[in-house]
Amino acid sequence: MKKISKVLMIISLLMTMALNIGQVKAKTNNLVRNWDFESENNEGWEQNKVGHVIDGVSYGDGNKAGVVPSDCADGYVGQYIYNLKPNTTYKITVQAKVDTDGAKAILATRVFDNNPWEYEGKPEKDQILKEMAVTSTNWQEYSYEFNTALNTNKVFVSLVKWAGVSDSNYEAVKKCNAYIDNVIIEEVNSIEVPEEDYNLVWEDQFNGEKLDLDKWRYETGYVRNKELQEYVDSEENVYLENGDLVLKATKKDEPVTVTVDGQDHKMYYNSGSIESFGHQDVLYGKIEMRAKLTNGKGFWPAFWTLGSEWTSEGQLGEGTAWPECGEIDIMEAPVQSPDGVNKTTWATIHYQKNGSYQKMGGEYKFSEDLADDYHIYGINWTPEKIEWYFDDIVFYTADISDIENFQKPHFVKLNLAVGGSWPGNTIDESKLPAEYRIDYVTYSQTEEQKAAADAFYANAPQISGVKDIKVLKGTPILQENGESGLDLLDGVQAVDKNGKKLTVGVSTLPSTFDTNTVGETMLVYTAKDDSGVYGRTYATLTVVDLPVKDELKKLIEDVELLNADDYTPNTWSKLQNDLTKAKQVLEDNSVWQEDVDSMVKTLEASIGSLVKRADITKLELEINNIEKLDSQKYTAETWDNLASVLVDAKAVAADKNVTQTQVDDILSRLVDAKGQLKLKEDGSVSVSWTNLTPSQQKETTNKVVKTSDESPIGMLMTTLLLSSSMLYVLKKRKNNC
């Protein structure tokens, strides 16, 4: 019994796995969107006249199915199937039924000339690939194979009710309800491809406060397609808000007129356009955004790429023009319908092959307005193909294996146009301001895509020596005719993959930029090898205004009014050295504002460091008074102390760099030493020097001199005086060091 139980459990498990595998297969290999009709918004299904998605009827455990209801002999419910390969066999399998005996519906597959620019929503030329009658009144599986023998990428699959009034089954067809469910279309013998691992290369989540200009640049002015907007870098039209990049179209106060193809063209609106040119190239990989589009007739949001060798509407002297550079429209959604509802996103490539313009592409029709919610738009780009997807559903594939325009780097663009050649110039201004909100842009690669891109870059021309440049306003740039000026190619060189030297060209973007305008511009360096492969690198040219020197000039004038005799020689000498440097900066026309500002700070510091010469009047008076004293009247100890301080005082008085603090300090010491003098014990009283006659002063002086030379006390006094002088000099030298 236990063995039987185990066997039953295993069988049950295997059946469950088989069922799950079948469900996964239907979802992963099936090309039909909303294949079981259970999506809330009935995504993918086209409904004509009374054909629609119905609740309460379903094959299996579902709750919905497609229906062409009764009281109708002409209607359908169907879906465009994208991402088909030419000359490839596919199998369609459906569950279908009619609820009236004798009635008939038709399971039809139509193919048509896939030129989406020649029709609006319906095929201009179509052809029945295959049909099958649905006559069962119970759910029944219907299946057949078809081959996309024509050059197409999509078919239209539908359940159709149609009968003419004269047909024998007209009443039965009209009376019946025809149902369809669980629609599966798969490539015959297709093999499920496992999900690949992608590594993030570059992204912008737009979570900052302002647009990151290290990742993007503004596109400005009138650009293309006879559109009615002027692209501006205003924060009213390009800004970040709540984690979104917002490109906003607004009405101008007054239209601006420009000349386009020799004719006046008016721009009535402002809007935003940004691009990664010069900051981030993309070559092979997934390029994706999540965004909420705008609606309203006449608006045209887009997410696209251009080849990085593009000449930027002829502004760059080197490179290739459109369409030779190549263009990938990841998402274009021009609002053409009169009601302003935006339900279609277009996928297109533009290129040049064999000297002529070519394009191919497809479309994705959504059931709801694309302005109602955020959706994912992206491409998966390999050397062989480009796949377009919407909310992770691949809806179109282009074979690019032999198109060289898509085997080289591109850059990313985001813009919101108003009017122009595609949506027309009837604008629903009630939608203004119109917003195109982008949640994120990402670029990621598999290891294989990265290896393919790396191989291109390894063989492309290599440019070295490029650096950012800063110049003063009005600086001339070296001209091709040899006229002197700033050489933008100084130190720049390029080589091909074999080391052969190549010519390098440089242009400013925009081309109208000149050094008489303060600001930044992009420098685009381009080199091309003998096989026609381009290499590019970029730098920034910054033009700054001429420095303002008024403050420096005023400081110089103030310094020149100062009197050297009022300050210590050392601090005055430092000021004079800085003054000389300041005058040089004042006269130099090549210095930057920061040089001027730095010199102002230096000169201000020197002025602030000036030390006024000390007032030594009191010190000199005290020295004179002490020199009048009779040393013989005082004890040797107190007199020697005074004599030592007196030596220091005389040295201070003679020092031209002495500070007032030093003067006051030595004066205080001198007064203290004088106050400590003690008379000898014999009580002899000295005669005031000033009261002696000239002959008595001479006699006294001779006695003092003789006593000083001959007596030990005199010799000691002389030694003390010399020692004190030496000590003071040494102290001053140390302080000055």
Q: What is the pLDDT of residue 393?
A: 85
Distances in Å between the Cα of 36 and the Cα atoms of 50, 131, 139, 546, 657 are: 20, 21, 14, 71, 100
pLDDT in tens, 417-450: 999 989 999 999 999 999 999 999 999 999 999 9
Give the residue, 115 or 308, on which the prediction is more confident: 308
Pair of tokens at residue 339: 């009601």
Give the residue, 367 or 326, on which the prediction is more confident: 326
Q: What is the pLDDT of residue 477?
A: 86
Asked if pLDDT for residue 46 goes beyond 60, the answer is: yes
Q: What is the pLDDT of residue 233?
A: 96
Asked if pLDDT for residue 115 goes beyond 80, the answer is: no
Asked if pLDDT for residue 340 goes beyond 60, the answer is: yes
Q: What is the pLDDT of residue 253?
A: 95
| Contact criterion met (CB below 8 Å) for 377 and 291 | yes
Residue ranges per structural domain of the chain: 1-27, 31-187, 199-208+280-458, 460-544, 550-609, 617-736
Give the residue, 58 or 9, on which the prediction is more confident: 58
Max mean pLDDT among 17-31, 249-263, 291-305, 679-693 falls in 291-305
Asked if pLDDT for residue 139 goes beyond 90, the answer is: yes
Torsion sign, CA atoms 526, 531, 532, 535: negative
Give the residue, 509 or 700, on which the prediction is more confident: 509
| Averaged pLDDT, 206-210 | 97
Q: What is 460-544's CATH topology?
A: Immunoglobulin-like (2.60.40)
pLDDT in tens, 63-78: 999 999 999 899 999 9
Asked if pLDDT for residue 269 goes beyond 70, the answer is: yes
Pair of tokens at residue 430: 């009630």
Q: How many other CB atoms are there within 10 angstroms of residue 649's CB atom?
A: 26
Average pLDDT, the chain: 86
For residue 727, name the pLDDT band (cuts at 50, 70, 90). low
DSSP state of 679: B
Asked if pLDDT for residue 24 goes beyond 60, the answer is: no
For residue 20, name the pLDDT band (cuts at 50, 70, 90). very low
DSSP state of 714: H
Torsion of CA 706, 710, 715, 716, to 10 degrees: -100
For residue 405, name the pLDDT band (cuts at 50, 70, 90). very high
Structural Rg of the chain based on CA atoms: 47
| Averaged pLDDT, 147-164 | 81
Asked if pLDDT for residue 481 goes beyond 60, the answer is: no
Residues 6 or more apart whose Cβ sits within 8 Å of residue 52: 42, 66, 67, 69, 77
> In whole angstroms, what is the distance from residue 127 CA to residue 150 CA?
10
Q: What is the pLDDT of residue 318?
A: 87
Lowest mean pLDDT among 50-59, 203-212, 659-668, 680-689: 680-689
Give the residue, 14 or 495, on which the prediction is more confident: 495
Q: What is the pLDDT of residue 116?
A: 43
Percentage with pLDDT > 90 across the chain: 66
Lowest mean pLDDT among 236-245, 265-274, 339-348: 339-348
Asked if pLDDT for residue 345 goes beyond 90, the answer is: yes
> What is 199-208+280-458's CATH number?
2.60.120.200
Torsion sign, CA atoms 392, 398, 400, 405: negative
Q: How many other CB atoms are there within 10 angstroms of residue 98's CB atom?
A: 25
Residue with tokens 């110039």: 425
Q: What is the pLDDT of residue 482?
A: 60
| Averaged pLDDT, 296-306 | 97
Lowest mean pLDDT among 109-118, 193-202, 722-731: 722-731
Q: Does the fold of domain 460-544 match that of domain 31-187?
A: no
Distance of CA 131 to the CA centre of its chain: 54
Q: How many other CB atoms are there within 10 angstroms of residue 552's CB atom?
A: 21
Q: What is 31-187's CATH topology?
A: Jelly Rolls (2.60.120)
Asked if pLDDT for residue 515 goes beyond 50, the answer is: yes
| Contact criterion met (CB below 8 Å) for 159 and 134 | yes
Percentage with pLDDT > 70 across the chain: 84
Asked if pLDDT for residue 119 goes beyond 50, the answer is: no
| Contact criterion met (CB below 8 Å) for 397 and 387 | yes
Q: What is the pLDDT of residue 289?
A: 99
| Contact criterion met (CB below 8 Å) for 596 and 641 | no
Q: What is the pLDDT of residue 49?
A: 61
| Averaged pLDDT, 122-141 | 81
Q: What is the pLDDT of residue 634?
A: 94
Q: What is the pLDDT of residue 48?
A: 64
Q: Which helix (H) or strand (E) holds 608?
A: helix 593-609
For residue 384, name the pLDDT band (cuts at 50, 70, 90). very high
Q: What is the pLDDT of residue 701?
A: 45
| Averaged pLDDT, 562-575 | 93
Residue with tokens 């059931």: 367
Q: What is the pLDDT of residue 465?
A: 97
219-239 CB burial, b ≥16 within 10 A, e <16: beebeeeebbbbbbeeeebbb
> In whole angstroms, what is the distance from residue 569 CA to residue 196 CA?
79
| Averaged pLDDT, 50-59 | 92
